[in-house]
Amino acid sequence: MTSRANSPHESRLRRNWRRTRAELAAPFGAVAAALPVRWSRRNGHRPPDGSPSPAGGGPTAAPAGAPATEHPETTALWRMRTTVRDQPGTLAALCAALAGYRVDILALQTHPLADGTVDEFLLRAPESVAAAELTRAVGAGGGSDTWLERADAHDLVDAPTRVLNLATRTALDGAELPLALRQLLGRCTIHSLPAKSLTGRRLDGTPPVEGVLEETVMRLRDPSGGAITIERPHLPFTPTEFARARALVELDARLGPRIPHRSDVLTLPEGNEITVRRAGTGDLPAARAMHGRCSPATLGLRYHGPIGDADRYLGHLLSPRFGRTLAAYTASGRLVALGHLLWDGDETEVALIVEDDWQRRGVGGRLLRRLVAMAAETGCESVYAVTQSANTGMVAAMRALELPLDYQIEQGTLVITARLSPAPAPAAAAAPLPSPARPHGH
């Protein structure tokens, strides 16, 4: 059973389908604590235009001083970011404007800028108050460049706990850095770019040690070489967010390469035992040896390129910066299968290769289930596999997950997407997948 590895070039084909100042207590009792706001990507990318959310809307809220309703009113949580002048009284005016709509401020933090301050709020507002009304109220209170989106109970997290959790995850596993950055910064796209191409040519674009912040893009030097590029087109990054992201990258650099050492012994249906554990660059020799035992057909299904180039992809695939890899070893210590969970921008790819003699014995299915479980643990909404329409083994393994599947195929290239969370609202039809090109990355 095999699936192909997407190169960074080919990943673009797949994607054609798919912000310190100390936290302040507010001057009103409505602000209970100063907490950061995590910008969730569950609602998709949306510009800061203050347009009503599909879940928002409703009649205009009653003005301040209106009679209280007989029954408690249904409320909604909102995340809001707005820019105010950095002078006394501006925050009070903003809070007073929100109070006019019976809005409760649950959390607040500030990001100082050179010519103003960006305030982040977590708000509880009556369900009847629409997003456009909140935006107008903020504007009347002195706010500008306001960005607003729905929040949920997951956003009620205090800043120290969240940052410590992210730092702990990063310390335990080198593959966690991209995920920690995404949770820190919210709905953003993260790309890890190697320092050299597969052919050994040095690539341009390595940022300086201190990193680069350019409005909606930040570039950080990857401790393992190359660069980490983070993009958030819908909302500019603040200097505070840049400093936090850089601190996580510096932590990763100090700790060096690391992967968890846990392993599990699995018994296959036929009775053979295999050991499954996380793999890294230390497994390169065993992976090359496995390639040597694989047939040209197996390597061709996996990599979709010249067979002689297959070994070049292994360094990239086994690097924890680009994802997580599971290796299956026999009792005699021979590597017979690899399963990859690859961070592809803001999406996640699964890929498998199983040595010929161990195909159709349950190895690939076991690896795939573990990869999907790992993806779900990191909060991924879906995973996809890119293979050939004739690869019945991979198709069967994906179907055996018993998850909702979407299929898209063009000119023999098949993309199977497994949804790990409820289906999102209907979207526009996806663009066709272009013809497969020769891999240049994986």
Domain-embedded: residue 194: yes
Q: Do residues 289 and 338 touch, judged by C-beta distance below 8 A? A: no
3-class secondary structure, 108? strand
Indicate if 249 and 265 belong to the same structural domain: no
Task: Answer yes or no: is pLDDT of 67 > 60.
Answer: no
Residue 293 in any domain: the answer is yes
Q: What mean pLDDT comes out for the span 170-191?
A: 86
Question: What does the pLDDT read at residue 197?
Answer: 65
**pLDDT-based confidence at 45, cuts 50/70/90?**
very low
Confirm whether 268 is domain-assigned: yes
pLDDT at 403: 93
Q: 184 and 150 in one domain?
A: no
Is there a single domain that holds both residue 278 and residue 250? no
Q: Are residues 290 and 407 in the same domain?
A: yes
Whether residue 178 sits in one domain with residue 119 = no
Q: Does 225 map to a domain?
A: yes
pLDDT, one tens digit per residue, over 269-282 is: 888 899 999 998 88
108 pLDDT tier (thresholds 50, 70, 90) = confident
| C-alpha distances out from residue 373 to 122, 380, 382, Å | 31, 10, 11
At residue 238's C-alpha, the angle toward residues 120 and 177, to 5°, is 100
344 vs 71: which has the higher pLDDT: 344
Q: Which of 229, 255, 281 is the last residue of a domain?
A: 255
Which is nearest to 178 in space by CA: 419, 379, 314, 406? Answer: 379
Q: Is pLDDT of 298 > 70?
A: yes
| Residue 93 and residue 188 in one domain | no
Is the same domain home to 214 and 280?
A: no
In a domain, 312, yes or no: yes
Q: What percent of the chain has pLDDT over 70?
A: 75
Tell me, yes or no, whether 344 and 312 share the same domain. yes
Task: Report the CATH number at residue 291.
Answer: 3.40.630.30
Residue range 385-400, pLDDT digits in tens: 998 888 888 999 999 9
Flag whether pLDDT at 89 surpasses 80: yes
The overall average pLDDT reported for the chain is 77
Q: Is pLDDT at 106 greater than 80 in this prediction? A: yes
**Measured at the alpha carbon of residue 339, what is the angle toward residues 337 and 340, in degrees to the nearest 5?**
145
Question: What is the per-residue pLDDT for 35?
Answer: 31
pLDDT at position 438 over 70: no
- Choosing from 233, 255, 277, the residue where a domain stops is 255
Amino acid letter, 35: L
Strand order in the sheet with 144-150: 104-112, 117-126, 75-84, 144-150
Measured CA to CA, the distance from residue 249 to residue 255 in angstroms comes to 10
Find the domain containing 108 and state its range. 75-155
**Number of folded domains that form the chain:** 3
- Give me the CATH number covering residue 97: 3.30.70.260
Confidence of residue 431 (pLDDT cuts 50, 70, 90): very low
The mean pLDDT of 141-147, rounded to a whole number, is 89
pLDDT tens digits, residue range 362-384? Answer: 999 999 999 999 998 887 889 99
Residue 266: inside a domain: yes
The pLDDT value recorded for residue 210 is 86
- pTM of this prediction exceeds 0.75: no
Residue 1 lies in a domain: no
Verify that 362 and 346 share a domain, yes or no. yes
Lowest-pLDDT choice from 112-126, 330-344, 418-432: 418-432
- The C-alpha atoms of residue 150 and residue 80 are separated, in whole angstroms, by 9
244 and 204 part of one domain: yes
Pick the closest to residue 98 from 71, 69, 138 (CA basis): 138
pLDDT of residue 378: 82
Q: Which of 206, 236, 255 is the last residue of a domain?
A: 255
- Is 436 within the bounds of a domain? no
CA distance linking residue 310 with residue 326, whole number of Å: 18
- What is the pLDDT, as a whole number, of residue 338? 95
pLDDT of 440 strictly over 90: no
Q: Which residue has the higher pLDDT, 303 or 12?
A: 303
Residue 214 is encoded by which pair of tokens? 């350019």
- Provide the angle, in degrees to the nearest 10, between the axes of the packed helices 90-99 and 131-140: 140
Pairing between β-strand 189-193 and β-strand 382-388 as defined by DSSP bridges: unpaired
Claim to verify: residue 303 and residue 249 sit in the same structural domain = no
Nearest-10 Cα torsion for 299, 315, 389, 348: 160
Question: Is 182 in the same domain as 294?
Answer: no
